[in-house]
Chains A and B, each alone.
Chain A
Amino acid sequence: MSRRPIRLMCVDDNQMLAEAMERRLNADDRFTWTGWVENTDELLPRVEAAHPDIILMDIDMPGADVFELVAKLGESFPESRVLMFSAYVRQDYIDRAVQNGAWGYISKNEGMNGILGAIERAAADWALRPCHA
């Protein structure tokens, strides 16, 4: 990856989380915040418009099969890498996410530095798995 800031998009139904992440990432020149997607129906057009490098995607989105969405994103936007972001750390979820094209899986219980480091490593080709998964 180039040294330009990593363009990041967050897909999560938790507004407080998205706003806090936006604030944190905007204060860090390693990252560029490209937006928050609350409704998965809007996801594909939003990705098409914003060209994120990394899509941080909650695994538990209302009304959507997130694993199918990951596969669709991989087909339509192979240059964007999906990182699953969840409080549920389960080996079967991790395997299914990677099987469908995700680049990794980050636990929401990680500290902020751990999360940001994981995003950087994903942008530099390291797939991620949470500790003890």
Chain B
Amino acid sequence: MGDVLTYLESPVNDRLLGFARPLADAAGGDLVALVAGAEPGSKDASAADVVLEAAHPALSPYLPEAHQAVLAAAINEVSPDLVVLENTTAGLDLGAAAAAATGRPFVSYCVELAIEDGEARSVSGIYGGQLHATANTRLPAVFAINSVALHDAPQAAGRGERAELAPPAKIESLRTTFVEPVEQPDEGVDLTKADRIVCVGRGIGSKENIEIAEELAEALDAEMGASRPVIDSGWLPKARQVGKSGAHVTPKLYLSLGVSGAPEHVEGMQGAELIVAVNTDPGAAIFHIAHYGVVADLFDIADELTNLLGE
């Protein structure tokens, strides 16, 4: 009986459909994919059973207010047991708002989600990934799934039936406008192609200290990468950011210095072949993803490594 409604961003996210398919099977209903845009008909979401198309010029480029209204309308139309979004900007914009607008509970940052005895049981990473919270939620409800938990496209095709969702009247009187895309300078760095990355986090402490990591990177013939706070502080250029809002990297070696391992960072580096982490805090979340860990002051280790490699 219970349907699962997925909110799909453009381009269509097959991994979210792959995540949601077993939930639809467990709930005994259809996998419904909402595609909202100026031309939703051009989107292939045939891995779903029903592709719900909402077409309106205000839906692309993305406007939170417009997409929120459409998602709430879709929830009211389909009455799904579960609504699942990816915890991207759209998830952070729409999930809580759509849940509140339709009177449903919302659980965010999920890394696991299953249906047991008619209830949802979810595990979410909070406190920067340091702790996992298991929650029980009565259905119907809305869930935002962390990107790290999305793996494969669905095994089998769905029915792929197409249906139309009339955009709600609200979309004609939006108080949000799209002004312009922001052109970003090409900084000539592409971390996605790097074989080795030395990644510094807030533990590096200051702009002056970056040099210490750079010497190590040179000795390793590695590119410099950084966590978001380092980039936000202006210590390294944006093109060197690793994570959700930076590069998704897959080097042979990823060596982190003073990075705590927040889920938004891990999203961008979990695909590295060999992960080595140096952190003074033995409880740092990065040690859950690293292959080799060192609990020590990053400056001591960086110095010794640079010396040793320079010999």
Do A and B interact? Answer: no
Binding site for A on B (CB under 8 A): none
Residues of A within 8 A of B (CB): none
